[in-house]
Chain A
Amino acid sequence: MKRGITVLVSLSAVLTVAYFTTTKWAIRHETLTFNDPARDNRPVAVDIAVRRDKEMQANAGMIKLPVAILNHGNTVKFTEYSFLANVFAARGYIAISIQHDLPTDSPMVTKVGEFYVGRQPQYLRGVANIKFAVEEIKNVQPNADYDHLTVVGHSAGADISMYFAKLHPELTKRVVTLDNLRVPFITDGRFKILSFRSKDPVFKTDPGVMPSKEVREKSGIEVVQTGFQHNDMRDTGPDVAKASIQGMLDKFLEDESPLRPVEIKASPNLTDPGPVAPYVPVAPTPQMGKRVGSASSAAQHS
C-alpha cells in the first residue's frame, strides 16, 4: 500500500515536471510587433510559439516548419489562445497568433442588410494582417512552409480564418474553426476543415453558414458538437473544454493524408461576400429609447 502511494506520488511528480518542462521550456513564446507601411504603419503584434528543438532544426536548415495562423475572437487578445498555440507547437508547427484589432481602429458598424452583419471590413483587415504578418515572419524564420498554412480561429477569428481560406485557397492547407458564426464553410473539399461548435443560448450560427451533413461528409468537413459555451473556447475557459478541444485538434493534425490539388486562379474580388444569407440585426424601436442594461444580442458580439 505504502509502496503504491509512493509510486503514484512519484509518477504525479514526474508528470508535473514533464508538463512544466513541455509548456515552459520546450515551447518558446515570443511576441513581436511589425509596422505595416502600406497601412499607415499599422502595428501588427504577433505571438510566436515554437518548440525549441524543432526551431533549432529549422535554423540549421534540416526541416521546414509547418505554419499555423491563430486568429482571436472579437475583443479577445491574441495572447489568449495559448492552449491552441501549444498544441500546434508541440506538433512541431510554428504557431503565429496575430492581434487583429487596435483601440485606435474605427468602431465596428452593423446595419440592416449588410453582408456578414457588416463585419466584412474586419475580415478584410484580418486577411491583410495575416498576409502582412506572414511576410514579416518569413524574415524571422525563413525555414517554414508559408505556402501551406493551417488557419485557426475562434468566433470572429474563425470567420477571418474561413474568409482567408476562401480568398487564398492556394495558401491554405487546413482550416480549424472554433464557432465561426458568419462566414459559410467552404465545401469544395480543397482542404481539410475541423470545426468545434458551441452549445450556447446566446451565440447562434447564422443561417447558411453550416452545410448539411451530406455536404460535410462529401467535402471532408469534420464538425464536433462540443456542448461548451462560445466563450469557453479560449484560455479563460474551463480546463475540461480546453483539454477536450486540444485532444481532438491533436488527432486532426495527425492525419496527413494527401489533399485534392488546388486549381490556382486569381484571387476573387475582395468585396465578393460569398453565398451567405445576410443576418439582419434588429432595428431599434421608438419605445426602446435611451436605456441601460445588457439585453443579449448574439448577432453583434462574437
Chain B
Amino acid sequence: MSAGPRISVERLVVVSKMHFVNIFTRKLPESGASGPPAAQAALARPLVLGCFSVFLLLSGCGGTEPECDSLDTRNSVVKIVSDDNNNALVNYAAKNSSSVAAMVDDKSEAEKSAIWEKAKQAAVYRLDDTIRKNSRNRSAQEVTCIGLLYVTVADATAQKEVEFKVKQTADGKSIVSVNPFLF
C-alpha cells in the first residue's frame, strides 16, 4: 500500500466541530450552556451568512419561467395558426360549414376555390381562457402547454386542442412554437 499524504484525524475533527453549531440553540456541541452574548453573536454570524448564500444560490437557480397563459403567448399561438390559411382546423371548419357549402353549389372549380379561400380568410380564431401546462423543462427554460382553439368559418365553429411550446431565451425573450394538429 502506497503511503499517501497523512492527514491528522484530530485536525479533521476540530474542523468539523467548527461547523456543527446547533442552529436552534446556537450552541457548540461541547458547550453545556449558552455563552456570553458576544460569543453568541459570533456564532450567529456564519449562520446568517450561510442562509444568505443559500438564498442567493436558490434565487439564481430559478429565473423567470416562460408562461403558457401570458397575453403575448396567447397572441403568438393564434397568430401562428391563423397565418397558415390552409391549417387543418380552418379547413375542417370550412368543410363543415353549411352556408359555405350552399355558396359553392353549382359553381366552377375556380369559383369554388375562391369562395373557400375567402371564407377561410374571414375565419375567426379564439383560444380558450383555460390553458394547461403540460410539462416543464427547467434546464431548457421551456414549457409545453395545451389549450382549446376555436375557428369559426361562417356558420360552423371547429374546436380542437392545440399543443404549443414556450421557450425563454437568455435575453428574456419568449419563443412560441405550435405543434401540428394530429387529426
Contacts and interface: CB of A to CB of B under 8 A. Distances in A.
Contact of B182 (A103, A109, A292): A103
Given A111-B98, A292-B75, A301 B148 contact: yes
Contacts of B79: 292
Contact of A75 (B93, B97, B126, B148): B148
B154 A300 contact: no
A291 interface: yes
Nearest to B75: A292
Nearest to A105: B183
Interface stretch (A55-63, A175-183, A280-288): A280-288
Q: Do most interface residues of chain A lie in helix, strand or loop, or is the interface mixed?
A: loop
Contact of A104 (B98, B127, B182): B182
Interface residues on A, range: 20 to 34
B150 A297 contact: yes
Nearest to A290: B82
Interface residues of B, number: 36
Contact of A301 (B78, B121, B125, B128): B128
A111 B160 contact: no
A284 B154 contact: yes
Contacts of A300: 150, 157, 159
B92 interface: yes
A54 B36 CA distance: 65
A112 B155 contact: yes
Contacts of A107: 89, 92-93, 158-160, 183
A110 interface: yes
A289 interface: yes
B125 A290 contact: yes
Contacts of A292: 74-75, 78-79, 82, 125-127
5 contacts: A284-B152, A290-B121, A293-B78, A300-B150, A300-B159
